[in-house]
Amino acid sequence: MSLDVVILAAGQGTRMRSQLPKVLHRLAGKPMVSHVIDTARRLAADRMHVVIGHGADRVRQVLGDYPVRFALQAEQKGTGHAVAQALDGLGKGKVLVLYGDVPLIRRETLKVLLDQVTETRMGLLTVTLEDPNGYGRILRNDAGEVVAIVEQKDASERELAVRECNTGIMAMTAAQLQRWLPRLSADNAQGEYYLTDVIAMAAADGVAIATAQPDNPLEVEGVNNRLQMARLERAYQPVSLSSS
């Protein structure tokens, strides 16, 4: 199957306290989103789509030399809405969704995830954390099968006790994505279209949801503020060494 990679890079990143679009903040000398694109290239992606919004012109300029297609998310209506902006440009094979502010994700981890994808199965990258605060939780049935993801703001007390968390990174076929995205609803605490809602749709449609986890949780840590950026900067060297 061919491979499309959709990289979400439209967020404003207000907690960075900077006019610079969040994904352009530098880690180890280059913009965070560039690390993600470079990883996608090492997967031999057939097409790479970068969904832009805040500071779109600046992001286009900085990424001008990369072989990527840009899709504009003019309004911030959630991750599902963001991915939908790239829908028309997708091929007919596999689709991998990545995030421009999650720069340490490794090719090897993503390869394991992509190998799970078939016409009847999708892949979801999860992580088990000591402190899951702020993350969506993975819900499984009695057989251990993933049936849904619940965002923290929508979670019950029992669901908040779950330590297996959603990283946001997932892979499926283009046909599956095209079937599910139009069915998303913004009927939730944030009033947004969550990409994570496709998990419940997959389960309802009888599509199996295979999970994988990174060797190092830092691979899937996102950057929302300067403190987190400093943490990943310190971690960059050992994570890089472990992937070589």
- Map out the domains of the chain as residue ranges: 3-235
CATH code for the domain defined by 3-235:
3.90.550.10
User: What is the pLDDT, as a whole number, of residue 241?
Assistant: 46
DSSP H helices, the chain, are 32-42, 56-62, 79-84, 107-114, 157-160, 174-180, 198-204, 226-242
Positions in the chain short of pLDDT 70: 13-17, 237-244
Determine the pLDDT at residue 15.
66
Pairing of strands 164-173, 121-128: antiparallel
Q: Which residue has the tokens 């006019």?
A: 19
Per-residue confidence (pLDDT) for residue 240, from 0 to 100:
55
Q: What is the pLDDT of residue 14?
A: 66
pTM value?
A: 0.93
Enumerate the active-site residues. 15
Quick one: pLDDT at residue 235?
Answer: 85
Who's near 28: CB < 8 A, 6+ residues apart? 35, 233, 236
